[in-house]
Chains A and B, each alone.
Chain A
Amino acid sequence: MREPTLLEYIILITVCLLTAFAGLYLLTQFNRLFRGSIKNELLRKNLAAWVVIFCFSTALLPMSGGFFYMLARFGWFHSIIGHIASTTITTIVVYNLARVIAESPSLRKLSFIKHKSLVILSLIISTLAINIPFFYYLYDGKMQYLKYAIINSIYLAGATGLVYAVISYLEVERKRKFDAKELELSRMRESKAKAELDALQSKVNPHFLYNALNSIADLSITDGKKGRKMTIALADLFRYSINYSNSNYSTIRDEVEMTEVYLQIEKIRFEDQLNYAVDVEEDFNHYLVPRFLLQPLVENAVKHGMKATGRMTEIKLNIRGSDKGVVFEILDNGPDFPDELNPGYGVKSVYDKLDLLFPDNYEIHFSNQPQKKVSLFIHKLMKDESAV
């Protein structure tokens, strides 16, 4: 048997390194290989395993010592056929065995190291089980070559198993990091939900309260009757906002009543600069809406209406049925809504409440034509079961 030339050695080493790298790369991409072309998972994985094993075993061919022997004995064509055949057998037996072990739910309960060791061990044993008879046949039972078969198998199977273990480890680590992040995110969402719930515990705007009290300070001397009326109205509004029942919902009737109390106070505060009208279709009285839904919208309308100075501010609240469910319309005669509308705290709290209690079940439109108004549609209403 002739010794290979230097050039042949260089070519051989290059080819081996290239196939080794190709095998490593394909192994890291294992789960993605042939994803587009083959639907059947078992077939796809087996084919991928075949390609990987082919690359590795090709890379390790010179190590077995039998390569040149095989070439000399069978010639190129038969050597390659033999190589492909052994790869195929190895794939079918070794890969599928390892796969069963790697994916068995009961074995997965083992610790990471135990589980991966078991996979590596099964790879080595099954590779040995295939390669020893193969070499035995190849060398006509000459036992002195058996050591090559053993070293080669351990090397091939062990290296593949180790790469697999490292990839799994990285995957587990990545997942753990991702889970940690996810956990943090869900905690953040929870605290956000809490903030939203706080939004439900609505308060009367403190500005409004202090301004009203300031007015009462004057009315107590200048107009006792008005002062008394305002004090009582303020007490009613405050009691409603404290929400002893601790319910997030309120009937439309209660909401309208409180809105009227609020408007009464504003009317006293602004002494005849404000007029209001409320028109509610009675059928809706007993339906439930988020508590303190209407007052912020009406307060917003009052603010908008008062922007136009030197004339009477007119506020209207209409509640009626429409093809999109019930509609709450709040009209004012102030200047148009600007295109760059920036909702204040009150309007934001309305969105918060609806998002939380009536998600995907409402719409709010701000329109300037034909009338300036805010329209709140609630598509599906809940009836108050406690009151009949």
Chain B
Amino acid sequence: MSQQYKAIIIDDEPAARRLLKSLLLEHADVIEVIGEAGNGKDAIARIEEMIPDVIFLDIQMPDLTGFEVIERLKQKPNIIFTTAYEQYAIKAFETFSIDYLLKPIKEERLEQSIDKLKKFGRLTRSVDLSGLQEVIRQLQVPQKAAALPIKTGDRINLIRFENISFLESSDKYVYINTIDGQKHLTDQSLTALEEKLPGIFYRIQKSYIINKDRIKEMHRHFNSRYLFTMDDKANTRLTSGRTYHDSIKAEFGL
């Protein structure tokens, strides 16, 4: 007689929990569902309180992702992720042999996971955290930032990177100049902004960062400087700093 495993089901959709529970009833000799949770915070509390052997963990939940739930657990049980990710995204799970079930959940696939549990007494050798991190990284690639959030009063404006022509600092403020000629003011420093901006943004002077995709022309200027004409409404002309000469030369392959 094999061991019986205590399980908790974590999913933000009641129907999804119900479905899994009814599917697991067929395997009552191996798995006993002792609890469920509808969000990440509840899940952590339940797991720490009930100490299950295995958890069925939904990845996309509104408050915390499944990954964040695991990060916050002191003791990590066996984990079977449940996810609606596309097939291509799921490759990462296989690469790091992390157990998962695709939604809508198939009974045969669930059986495989349970067989594995029966055979080895556990799933993957504990949770390979670095593998997990890699999975997270791969799944989150499309989530790259595409816009700069700028707070003005109670409002947050999103300025899309591709619409930014250049950033100009003056005194304590930075003006974000868009291609249609608008200026947005922010009190973040140019250096802080530089870190947030993607690689298409390039500093050409102490007080200017430009969008490389929005350069219309660049010319050699006097005194180791370059003159940039931007592809914006006013065809703004900006001069680079002398000390930036070498790095500009290297950057643009001049």
Which residues of A are in contact with B by a Cβ distance under 8 Å? 178, 206-211, 213-219, 221-222, 269-271, 303, 305-309, 337, 339-345, 347-348, 351, 355, 360, 364-370
Contact = CB atoms under 8 A, between A and B. Distances in A.
A161 B195 CA distance: 53
Contacts of A364: 157-158
Contacts of B104: 210, 213-214, 216-217
6 contacts: A211-B13, A218-B16, A309-B39, A337-B156, A355-B160, A366-B156
Contacts of A351: 147, 158, 160
Given A342-B143, A348-B146, A271 B158 contact: no
A340 B149 CA distance: 6
A342 B15 contact: no
Nearest to B102: A210
B180 A360 contact: yes
Q: Mostly helix, strand, loop or mixed at chain B's interface?
A: mixed
A207 B13 contact: no
A364 B180 CA distance: 16
Given A210-B103, A222-B15, A307-B63, 20 more contacts: A207-B85, A210-B84, A214-B16, A215-B15, A215-B19, A217-B19, A221-B22, A306-B62, A309-B41, A339-B151, A342-B143, A343-B158, A347-B158, A351-B158, A351-B160, A355-B163, A364-B157, A367-B155, A368-B156, A369-B154
In the A-B complex, the 9 residue pairs with the closest CB atoms? A306-B62, A210-B84, A218-B19, A215-B15, A369-B154, A214-B103, A366-B156, A218-B15, A341-B149
Q: Mostly helix, strand, loop or mixed at chain A's interface?
A: helix
A367 B152 CA distance: 10
B230 to A, nearest CB: 14
B68 to A, nearest CB: 12
B15 A214 contact: yes
Interface string B68-94: 000000000000000011100000000
B189 to A, nearest CB: 15
Contacts of A216: 15, 104
A362 B105 CA distance: 42
Contact of A368 (B15, B146, B154): B154
A221 B19 CA distance: 9
Nearest to B60: A207
Interface residues of B, number: 38
B18 interface: yes
Interface string B228-249: 0000000000000000000000
B142 interface: yes
Contacts of B53: none
A306 B41 CA distance: 13
A206 B63 contact: no
Contacts of A218: 15-16, 18-19, 22
B193 interface: no
B198 interface: no
A271 B13 CA distance: 8
Contacts of A303: 62
A343 B147 contact: yes
B158 A206 contact: no
B105 A217 contact: yes
B145 interface: yes
A209 B19 CA distance: 16
A10 to B, nearest CB: 33
A344 B143 contact: yes
B147 A211 contact: no
Contacts of B180: 360
A222 B18 contact: yes
Contacts of B99: none
B32 interface: no
A348 B160 CA distance: 9
Nearest to B144: A342
Contacts of A307: 62-63
B121 interface: no
B115 interface: no
B168 interface: no
B42 interface: yes
A208 B102 CA distance: 13
A306 B12 contact: yes
Interface in B154-180: 154-158, 160, 163, 180
Given A210-B84, A366-B158, A219 B15 contact: yes
Contacts of A269: 13, 15
